[in-house]
Amino acid sequence: MNKATILLSVACALFLAHPVLAKEAAPLAEDPAVEQRLIQISTELRCLVCQNESLAGSQAELAQDLRREVRDLIKQGNSDQQVKDFLVSRYGDFVLYRPQLKPTTWLLWGGPFVLLIVGLAVLVNYLRRRSRLIVEAPLSEDEKKRAEVLLKGDQV
Amino acid sequence: MNRFLLPLGIFVVLVGFLAVGLTLNPREVPSPLVGKPAPAFSVPQLHDETAKFSPQEMAGKVWLLNVWASWCVSCREEHPILNEFAKTGTTPLVGLNYKDKREDGIRWLARFGNPYLLSAVDSDGRVGINYGVYGVPETYVIDKAGVIRFKQIGPVTPEVLQKKIIPLVQELNK
């Protein structure tokens, strides 16, 4: 690694750590176990204000409030699933980065595999058809001799 | 000719999907709360700190809950529309002053007009979380039984008011 990349990665690390540490420093010291779970849960949740950021990484006001809410729920002894259910019941499935497996999401989860199978079927079909098109055409005696001469000539 | 038909078909379908995708607004997340009872809360009122407000007080009425804040720019945009709407006396409009300073909220209403029957104060945003608020302003239509029937995310436009909210309120009032 050269100097620039090291500098860049340090800057990135600082930048990424910043949202979690800023303002949240006091509770971190309070109970590291709670804080660990908070980070774990909130990386799985979407911040609704800045939709492509996780709740863990977002500095939006709402995200801070929601982290506070999640922290309180953890302290009250709720399981990770209960915390997620709490947020889903208010904000909908959209808050989950990993959609639940249920009839409306079957296509979402299964779609890629269906496409893979379709693709394989098309490929196999195509290859079979193609192999049928290739006709074996054995060389006649004359052609063999000519080929040998040509090959030998090449070697010289 | 035939061999181009399949790729062309796939292309057309893809363009169709993308065209529909362009018209969707990713900010409009369907609320799971529509069709569910409005979450209960009890918070102080804006103009009278000692008085509280809770949604149960509105039982038996069709009412609107409008989440607003003095720091919210889009709220200014919708405010004249709400003022006009309040004048018609169609249905009670309750404000939820979301994550705001009391003085700022009162001053803001004095400046732009107060369409609200009253405003409840949600200073730490907890009520907002229970209502799934993520983009102020938001407006809820709540029926006589206290069930949320409609949620408008973002400012109420004259179009939304005329085409959705007013017909729905009339329907629920029947």
Among B51, B45, B63, which residue's Cα sits nearest to residue B105?
Answer: B45
Provide the pLDDT for residue B145. 93
Put simply, the answer to whether A62 touches B29 (Cβ < 8 Å) is: no
Separation CA A4–CA A91 (nearest Å):
42
The Cβ of residue A51 has, within 10 Å, a number of other Cβ atoms equal to 13
Instruction: Identify which of B29, B126, B131 has the shortest CB distance to residue A92.
Output: B29
Q: Does B132 touch chain A (CB under 8 A)?
A: yes
Q: Does B157 touch chain A (CB under 8 A)?
A: no
| Least confidently predicted of A17-26, A67-76, A86-95 | A17-26
For residue B74, the domain's CATH number is 3.40.30.10
- Predicted confidence (pLDDT) at residue A70 exceeds the cutoff of 70: yes
> What average pLDDT does range B153-159 have in this prediction?
91
The single residue listed with the structure tokens 């808050």 is: A95
CB-CB contact of B89 with B112 (8 Å): no
Provide the pLDDT for residue B80. 94
Q: Does B29 touch chain A (CB under 8 A)?
A: yes
Per-residue pLDDT tens over the stretch B70-103: 999 999 999 999 999 999 888 999 999 999 999 9
- Quote the number of domains for chain B: 1
Residue ranges of domains in chain A, CATH in brackets: 3-100 (1.10.8.640), 104-155 (no CATH)
The single residue listed with the structure tokens 């002894």 is: A77
The single residue listed with the structure tokens 């003022």 is: B83
User: Which range among A14-23, A90-99, B104-113 has the greatest average pLDDT?
Assistant: B104-113
- Asked, for residue B107, whether it belongs to a domain, the answer is yes
Separation CA B155–CA A134 (nearest Å):
67
CB-CB contact of A77 with A34 (8 Å): no
Range of the domain at B85: 32-173
Nearest-Cα residue of chain A relative to residue B28: A48
> How much is the CA Rg of chain B, to the nearest whole Å?
20
- Asked, for residue B62, whether it belongs to a domain, the answer is yes
Provide the pLDDT for residue A2. 64
Residues from chain A contacting residue B126 (CB–CB below 8 Å): 65, 69
Type of residue numbered A95: V
Provide the pLDDT for residue B82. 94
Per-residue pLDDT tens over the stretch B137-149: 999 999 999 999 9
Put simply, the answer to whether A65 touches B130 (Cβ < 8 Å) is: no
| Least confidently predicted of A82-86, A128-132, B26-30 | B26-30
| Positive/negative CA dihedral, B173, B51, B120, A78 | negative
- Asked, for residue B158, whether it belongs to a domain, the answer is yes
Provide the pLDDT for residue A17. 54
B67 CB-contact burial (10 Å; exposed 0-12 / middle 13-18 / buried 19+): buried
Secondary structure letter of residue B165 according to DSSP: I
CB-CB contact of A76 with A86 (8 Å): no
- Asked, for residue B141, whether it belongs to a domain, the answer is yes
Put simply, the answer to whether A90 touches B99 (Cβ < 8 Å) is: no
- Asked, for residue B23, whether it belongs to a domain, the answer is no
- Predicted confidence (pLDDT) at residue A154 exceeds the cutoff of 70: no
Residue in A45, A87, A90 to test binding to B, most B beta-carbons within 10 Å: A90
What's the mean pLDDT when you consider all of chain A?
81
**pLDDT band for position A138 (cuts 50, 70, 90):** confident
- Asked, for residue B103, whether it belongs to a domain, the answer is yes
- Asked, for residue B16, whether it belongs to a domain, the answer is no
Provide the pLDDT for residue A137. 82
Residues from chain B contacting residue A51 (CB–CB below 8 Å): 26-27
- Asked, for residue B108, whether it belongs to a domain, the answer is yes
Put simply, the answer to whether B132 touches A94 (Cβ < 8 Å) is: no
Q: Which residues of A touch B (CB under 8 A)?
A: 48-49, 51, 61-62, 65-66, 69, 88-94
Separation CA B99–CA B97 (nearest Å):
7
Exposure class string for A93-114: b at 16+ Cβ within 10 A, else e:
ebbeeeeeeeeeeeeeeeeeee
- Predicted confidence (pLDDT) at residue A11 exceeds the cutoff of 70: no
Instruction: Identify which of A65, A88, A92 has the shortest CB distance to residue B129.
Output: A65
Sheet holding B138-142, edge to edge: B118-122, B93-98, B63-68, B138-142, B148-153
